[in-house]
Amino acid sequence: MRGIKKKDLSSKDFSISPEKKSEIIEVAYIPEHIISLMQAISGGEPGIIDDFLFFVKDNWIMFIGYPLSGHFQKPKQITENTEVLIDIYDPEYIWVIAHEIPSELKKKAVEFQKDYYYTLLVEDFRPNRRLLREVEKASESLKIRKERVFSSKHSALRDEFIRTKTLHPMVISLYNSMEDYFRGSETAILLSAATKEDEITAFYCLDCGAHNFLAYITGCHSKTHYVPHASDLLFVEMVGLARQMGKTEINLGLGVTDGLRRFKEKWGGRPTIPYEFIEWRREPDIKKSLKALQSIL
């Protein structure tokens, strides 16, 4: 594994064997449990400590505080494991996500967010007739493509979307990582809605790496090549794809904005898994040592 290693790791093995990766795919219940997805969009190396995944690179660590067993125990576990990793890697930035962030970590945070993962049970997908009529109308002027390449047209639409929306820097970073994601992941899927002139009016980035669910990663629609209900058409296509793959659930990601929450709820998505996030910035010990030395000289 890469990362800033402050201590000898000879007695600690955080690596994940191929067998363990297969086990994780079987039990994953949030997108951050999909190792290939997280590696591709973050560039970090995965590790496992206790019952938790983490990712590390250069001067940062991301700790995934959702136990792989699904057994939510004391938040203290999150604090203890995070402290172990900090002691070893001495990072400047620590990001922690969990169903509940311990209060002692919240006190150190420079940013805190709270939300829910929205999920949809595939067998319960029964949209009303009015919504389906809108989708049928959109399908008359659009063609759906299932792709594996994030093309220049997708990049142009993504850039247009970022320019016209007020997005959190981490969300922008996620959108900007799509080229690397599709180059590096074998489980990435791109659903695109294109006009008869072959202009992309909307797309969904999905990941099928988990055994039980299909993950919605990002999506956007165009104002330049706007077609009403293109995103709705893609949603129905996404559910059909999940059915074909034998997935029981779709993880629709976080609520993020009121508009996005309303869209997900309109199609049957429900807030099911609590989500909390902190960013903690700290000075690595080497910087502290240099400052102490400077104060003496």
Low-confidence ranges of the chain (pLDDT < 50): 1-10, 289-293, 295, 297
- Residue spans of the domains in the chain: they are 18-108+282-296, 119-274
pLDDT of residue 288: 52
Q: Which residues contact 182 (CB under 8 A, 6 or more apart)?
A: 148, 149, 150, 188, 190, 205
Amino acid at 229: H
pLDDT in tens, 222-231: 999 999 999 9
Q: Under a CB-based contact definition with an 8 Å cutoff, are residues 41 and 209 in contact? A: no
pLDDT of residue 145: 95
CA distance 210 to 218: 17
Closest C-alpha among 230, 249, 214 to residue 125:
249
pLDDT of residue 285: 55
pLDDT of residue 170: 86
What CATH number belongs to 119-274? 3.40.630.30
User: Which pTM does this prediction carry?
Assistant: 0.88
CA distance 170 to 269: 23
Q: Under a CB-based contact definition with an 8 Å cutoff, are residues 56 and 84 in contact? A: no
Q: Which two tokens stand for residue 287?
A: 């910087």
pLDDT in tens, 76-129: 899 999 999 999 999 999 999 999 999 999 999 999 999 999 999 999 999 999
pLDDT of residue 9: 45
